[in-house]
Structure 1
Amino acid sequence: MSDELIRTEIDARGVARLTLARGAKHNALSAEMMSQLQAAAEGLAADPAVRVVVLAAEGPTFCAGGDLRWMQAQRDMDAATRRTESARIAHVLGALAALPQPLIGRVQGNAFGGGVGLACVCDVTLAVEGVRLGMTETRLGLIPANIGPYVIARMGAARAREVFMSGRVFCADEAVRLGVLTRILPVEELDCAVEAEVAPYLSCAPGAVADAKRLLGDLAGRVREEDVAHAIDALAARWETAEAEEGLAAFFDKRAPRWAG
């Protein structure tokens, strides 16, 4: 593999730390980074020695969303190739959501777009005070489609309506109310809080925990493959619109799009 954009460490207890390791780029999700993250998640899912997974990130930002060069490259792709490429984040979220182990999110900085999706697939998501989150795709003429099934599964449709279409950035307190975050803490307490979430699982039978998580998904109504496919198609169609062309052109030209008030 080329650069190490995702780092995986497993301690003697069977606690895995899955780290977004592109901190200098605010952990923006490039194609290679998403490939590495999906492979890492699938590897952890298949490892019987892993009992709990912590999803963390380096640097000041948890995840800034899609990498700008990756998004720019998609503008020049044909529709079928762009659909496949833009679906990468949906497959990453699916792999994380499918982990049989509990997934604890450690959010040390802001999360936008795909970063909100990552927060939403965690079983528990802890964040530091002052973080900001948002699904800003509609500002670009796009839609938060590939993360949509997982965001709505986490928030519920009623709460999702408050932030899903508006592109509005919201604070940590609101993210707790919306259900994206479980709890917010002072930065110096974050690691202790993560450890407090991890510790109880180490007293539980690993197979029972996995079965309980599977049952919870069955009873709650897990994200369906057809919903993910529908969301991928919806984004693929949106890419073909004049609004998407204008929104992305304006973004890369560093100007306001025509519709901006």
Structure 2
Amino acid sequence: MSLNTTGLITTVEDGVAVITLDRPEVRNAFDDALIAALTRAYDAAAVDPQVYAVLLKANGPTFCAGADLNWMRRMATYSRQENLADAMALATLMRTIDLCPKPTLVRVHGSAFAGATGLIAASDIVVAVPEAEFAITEVRIGLIPSVISPYLVRAMGARQARRYFLTAERFSAETALALGLVHEVVSAEELDAAIVRHLKALKAASPGAMAATKALIAAVDRPFDQTVLQDTARRIADQRVSADGREGVSAFLEKRKPTWGAA
């Protein structure tokens, strides 16, 4: 089934929720309607038992140019309370992607600017073509990359964020790879094959273990202390006695495929 709403196409293909930005006439820039649609799409994928991974991609030559100009014009007339509500909607989208229990992938075939870099940084696996360009441009128009900053600083580190947040300069896919914003850079001809390769690896993994692993990473992504030590011990103990944990270990010991990868 395919659904096209507010510049977004959503489909489920072989267990993958494919979310496609479809506003090429404005370089896939997002506005309040698209932000809401994206949030709904990720929420739906998170609870769909037929979905094991989520892929974000885009139509047209640009991946995403950031904020839509008409939306920005409307924001300029908003009160502080209206702006706060508007910003919270974007912050909620970023958090929804970040906390999605399913693996989230991004296929970057063109430029990604401003808020688009937040979509990328909040996701699990990002593959880009060498021609892709990136920029965190908010300071150029007197704004700050506020709601996307937790994900970008986590991905790039505070030291690199100081430079790229402040200069708003464009940087290449290879630089994005070195910064940790992108995981892999491949040619346009190899882009889809790279995505398929990652999806194949994810499909072979336990859905329950992947969700637990994502929660684990969020829990330990902080200074290591006794609380983290105890928490990590509790989490692996819980996973070992779960249905997926028992099945995975049994299948390994019995040298067979686990039930989730038998098809």
**Structure 1 residues 102-141: aligned runs within 5 Å:** 102-141=103-142
- Counterparts of 1:168 and 1:109, CA distance in 2: 16
Tell me whether 1:209 sits opposite 2:210 in the alignment.
yes
Greater Cα radius of gyration, structure 1 or 2: 2
Displacement of 1:89 in angstroms is 1.9
Decide whether the 8 Å contact of 1:160 with 1:178 is kept in 2: no
- Provide structure 2 residue ranges, at least 5 long, that are not aligned to the other structure: 223-263
Q: What amino acid is the match of 1:191? A: D
- Counterparts of 1:138 and 1:96, CA distance in 2: 24
Displacement of 1:180 in angstroms is 0.8
Query: Which residue is equivalent to 2:9?
Result: 7
- Counterparts of 2:197 and 2:138, CA distance in 1: 35
Decide whether the 8 Å contact of 2:5 with 2:37 is kept in 1: no
Q: What CA RMSD, in Å, does the superposition of the two structures yield over aligned residues? A: 1.5
Decide whether the 8 Å contact of 1:45 with 1:99 is kept in 2: yes
Displacement of 1:87 in angstroms is 3.0
User: 1:2 and 1:79, CA in 2 relative to 1: closer, same or farther beyond 3 A?
Assistant: farther
Does 1 or 2 have the higher relative contact order (CA < 8 Å, sep 6+)? Answer: 1
User: 1:2 and 1:132, CA in 2 relative to 1: closer, same or farther beyond 3 A?
Assistant: closer
TM-score of the superposed pair, with normalisation by structure 2: 0.80
Displacement of 1:65 in angstroms is 0.3
SS at match of 1:161: helix
Query: Which residue is equivalent to 2:220?
Result: 219
- Counterparts of 2:75 and 2:99, CA distance in 1: 27
- Provide structure 1 residue ranges, at least 5 long, that are not aligned to the other structure: 222-261
Deviation by residue 1:208-254 (Cα, 9 ceiling, x = unmatched): 11111111121124xxxxxxxxxxxxxxxxxxxxxxxxxxxxxxxxx
Tell me whether 1:184 sits opposite 2:185 in the alignment.
yes
Displacement of 1:159 in angstroms is 2.0
Number of matched pairs:
220
Query: Which residue is equivalent to 1:101?
Result: 102
SS at match of 1:61: coil
Query: Which residue is equivalent to 1:30?
Result: 31
Displacement of 1:2 in angstroms is 8.8
- Counterparts of 2:37 and 2:214, CA distance in 1: 25
- Counterparts of 1:66 and 1:88, CA distance in 2: 13
TM-score of the superposed pair, with normalisation by structure 1: 0.81
Query: After TM superposition, where is structure 1 displaced by more than 3 Å over at least 4 residues in a row?
Result: 1-4
Decide whether the 8 Å contact of 2:117 with 2:152 is kept in 1: yes
Tell me whether 1:71 sits opposite 2:83 in the alignment.
no
Query: Which residue is equivalent to 2:58?
Result: 57
- Counterparts of 1:146 and 1:42, CA distance in 2: 19
